[in-house]
Amino acid sequence: GENVEQHPSTLSVQEGDSAVIKCTYSDSASNYFPWYKQELGKGPQLIIDIRSNVGEKKDQRIAVTLNKTAKHFSLHITETQPEDSAVYFCAAIGNTGNQFYFGTGTSLTVIP
């Protein structure tokens, strides 16, 4: 099955700086890569996703890049704000499956 690795496990940045979280996956058949944000006491919420036919996607301060050859994808948050503080999960899924394979999560702290 798929194996998703995520780094770093914790990340602290100053407000206004950028944050980058990286994930790798093992199954070359995976073709959909969502990123979820989980705030304390809440369920994961989708913040951005990318499909394997695209190399980069951007939504305001958030961007995701995908390198299919290297089998890695990254989340970039620019101009970080304190409300960006949360746990972020990457995930991968293939086109024949119903299940996400999640990374271990990154706890992001934005210091005001």
Partner 1 sequence: EPEVTQTPSHQVTQMGQEVILRCVPISNHLYFYWYRQILGQKVEFLVSFYNNEISEKSEIFDDQFSVERPDGSNFTLKIRSTKLEDSAMYFCASNFGGGMNTEAFFGQGTRLTVV
Which residues are near partner 1 by CB under 8 A? 31-32, 34, 36, 41-46, 49, 89, 93, 95-105
Query: At closest approach, how far in Å is the CB of 77 from partner 1?
Result: 20
CB of 59 to partner 1, least distance (A): 13
Q: Are 30 and 52 in contact (CB under 8 A)?
A: yes
Q: Which is nearer to partner 1, 19 or 93 (by Cβ)?
A: 93
Across the strands, what pairs with 63?
58, 76
User: Residue 14 Cβ, how far from partner 1 at the closest point, in Å?
Assistant: 26
